[in-house]
């Protein structure tokens, strides 16, 4: 049932199933990170600059993002809410910062949601080619629609079943990647002295690799969206945020080491490979192993679809309860206790976007790049705001963690700002450039909207702070 408290409670409460456990909460956070994408696709971008020290770039950024997760976890402990950083920043910093974070999270996650089913369809099609010839946008769109409808139905039925499905699908995806990695180590060995020869390390290319690897960790904060449906949310969610970054970081470092090692035996550099795991499977004489790379991405896209539906719907639910968006979204299914209207609107929106991509024959990877640009900028903004809000709040409270929090902010904020600056200028071309401009316009519109409320309708901002939103 939904708990309503004095002041306008907006919290989704656990259904009769008892809510989700820590492992399912971890699966939800990891599914939003989508770790399988790193070894299957995005590592090539980092390896162009990182070279033999690509693993080091992921390790250093992993440590940095662990510090960021600690900052966000502090806010999650003090202000547990399905609105996540929307509510955290509203309470710890200012309601306008919460509004900016809320809308950028919605649009950023929505970009990921729109791309995930199509990406899943693309990799399912590639996997099917091992058995019989299939091709064409119709196949991809059809599989994508099936992905979306199944994920939507699971999300509608309840957080317990959808989180459980997401957990096991994500585990299967990671195991597919690990199987290919184990086969590579079996054939090639594990020693690669070049990756430990730090005399060949150059700081300038490593710095660029650090920038590119940062976005691989984005999504851990979505654990906070399940605050109202998690037992002991104040302790479980901060722990899962940090744990998910640490575990994913270990996976990234190991896979970076193994893939760089394997490509030392290939004529094509890792940075030039569009499908590195498939290339490794070919190199060790077992091209059929490439199907596990496709299956990993296909299943990861499905778990990401479920997880993103759950996250966005709860942010919409929370923001509607606080009067930021129409009350229409502040509605739950009476049987399952899920934000049904938000889930339906999201499903319809994604179906429309998929229809546009299909009818206009827009390349899938172009769509992923465009939406990924927006999502990446959203991550950078909310993490930067969290690093400002946490020490600000702790110093106001004279909390024992205030100085460590300030030190963490001093370490992480400069890099986050640097990555943001590099992402914004020079302006990218094509769809990525359009997404960048749209992001800047959105942030400015929300910011000035908040200033208008502060000047002429301050009661709207006060309502964000007065309304009770905690499990």
H or E element that contains 239: helix 233-263
Q: Summarize pLDDT for 109-154 with one digit per residue, the tens.
A: 998 899 899 989 888 888 887 777 777 778 888 999 999 999 999 9
Can you read off the two tokens belonging to residue 75? 């806010």
- Say yes or no to pLDDT of 164 above 50: yes
Place of tokens 């998690």: 230
Hey, which of 11-15, 16-20, 377-381 has the most confident mean pLDDT?
377-381
Give the mean pLDDT of the chain.
89
- Say yes or no to pLDDT of 4 above 80: no
pLDDT band at 161 (very low <50, low <70, confident <90, very high): confident
Which range has the worst mean pLDDT, 203-217, 232-246, 264-278?
Answer: 203-217
- Say yes or no to pLDDT of 426 above 60: yes
Q: pLDDT at position 8, please?
A: 39
DSSP label of 38: I
CB atoms < 10 A from the CB of 415, how many? 18
Q: pLDDT at position 97, please?
A: 97
Is the pTM value of this prediction over 0.85?
yes
d(CA 281, CA 12): 46
pLDDT band at 2 (very low <50, low <70, confident <90, very high): very low
- Say yes or no to pLDDT of 253 above 60: yes
Which range has the worst mean pLDDT, 68-72, 188-192, 251-255?
Answer: 188-192
Do the beta carbons of residue 369 and residue 42 sit within 8 Å? no
Q: pLDDT at position 12, please?
A: 55
DSSP label of 271: G
Q: What percent of the chain lies above the pLDDT cut of 90?
A: 62
Which range has the worst mean pLDDT, 161-165, 254-258, 260-264, 441-445?
Answer: 161-165
Q: pLDDT at position 231, please?
A: 82
Full 3-state SS string of 396-442: HCCCCCHHHHHHHHHHHHHHHHHHHHHHHCCCCCHHHHHHHHHHHHH
Packed helices 54-78 and 43-50: angle between N→C axes, nearest 10 degrees: 120
- Say yes or no to pLDDT of 465 above 90: no
Which range has the worst mean pLDDT, 64-78, 199-213, 267-281, 382-396?
Answer: 199-213
CB atoms < 10 A from the CB of 288, how many? 8
Q: Between 204 and 449, where is the model more confident?
A: 449
């Amino acid at each position: 049932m939904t708990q309503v408290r004095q002041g306008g409670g907006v919290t989704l409460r656990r259904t009769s199933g008892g809510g989700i456990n820590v492992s399912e909460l971890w699966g939800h956070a990891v599914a939003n990170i989508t770790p399988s994408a790193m070894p299957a696709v995005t590592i090539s971008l980092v390896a162009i600059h990182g070279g033999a020290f690509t693993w080091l770039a992921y390790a250093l950024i992993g440590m940095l993002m662990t510090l960021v997760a600690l900052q966000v976890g502090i806010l999650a402990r003090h202000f547990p809410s399905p609105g996540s950083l929307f509510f955290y920043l509203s309470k710890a910093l200012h309601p306008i910062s919460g509004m900016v974070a809320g809308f950028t999270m919605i649009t950023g996650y929505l970009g990921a949601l729109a791309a995930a089913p199509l990406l899943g369809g693309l990799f399912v099609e590639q996997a099917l080619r091992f058995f019989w010839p299939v091709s064409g946008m119709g196949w991809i769109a059809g599989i994508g629609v099936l992905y979306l409808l199944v994920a939507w139905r699971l999300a509608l039925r309840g957080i317990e079943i959808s989180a459980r499905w997401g957990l096991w699908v994500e585990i299967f995806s990671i195991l597919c990647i690990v199987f290919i990695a184990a086969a590579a180590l079996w054939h090639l060995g594990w020693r690669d002295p070049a990756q430990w020869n730090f005399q060949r390390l150059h700081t300038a290319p490593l710095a660029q690799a650090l920038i590119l690897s940062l976005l691989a960790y984005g999504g851990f904060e979505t654990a906070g969206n399940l605050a109202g449906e998690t037992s002991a949310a104040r302790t479980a969610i901060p722990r899962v945020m940090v744990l998910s970054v640490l575990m994913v970081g270990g996976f990234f470092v190991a896979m970076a080491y193994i893939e760089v090692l394997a490509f030392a035996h290939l004529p094509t550099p890792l940075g030039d490979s569009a499908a590195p795991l498939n290339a490794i499977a070919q190199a060790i004489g077992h091209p059929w192993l490439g199907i596990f790379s496709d299956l990993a991405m296909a299943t990861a896209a499905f778990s990401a679809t479920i997880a993103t539906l759950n996250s966005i719907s709860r942010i919409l639910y929370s923001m509607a309860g606080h009067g930021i968006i129409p009350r229409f979204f502040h509605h739950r299914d009476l049987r399952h206790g899920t934000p049904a209207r938000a889930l339906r609107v999201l499903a319809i929106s994604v179906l429309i976007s998929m229809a546009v991509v299909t009818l206009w024959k827009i390349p899938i990877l172009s769509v992923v790049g465009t939406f990924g640009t927006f999502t990446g900028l959203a991550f950078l903004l909310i993490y930067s705001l969290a690093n400002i809000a946490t020490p600000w709040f702790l110093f106001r409270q004279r909390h024992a963690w205030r100085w460590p929090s300030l030190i963490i902010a001093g370490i992480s904020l400069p890099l986050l700002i640097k990555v943001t600056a590099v992402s914004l200028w020079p302006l990218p071309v094509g769809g990525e450039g359009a997404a960048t401009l749209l992001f800047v316009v959105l942030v400015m519109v929300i910011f000035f909207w908040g200033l208008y409320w502060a000047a002429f309708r301050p009661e709207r901002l006060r309502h964000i702070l007065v309304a009770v939103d905690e499990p």
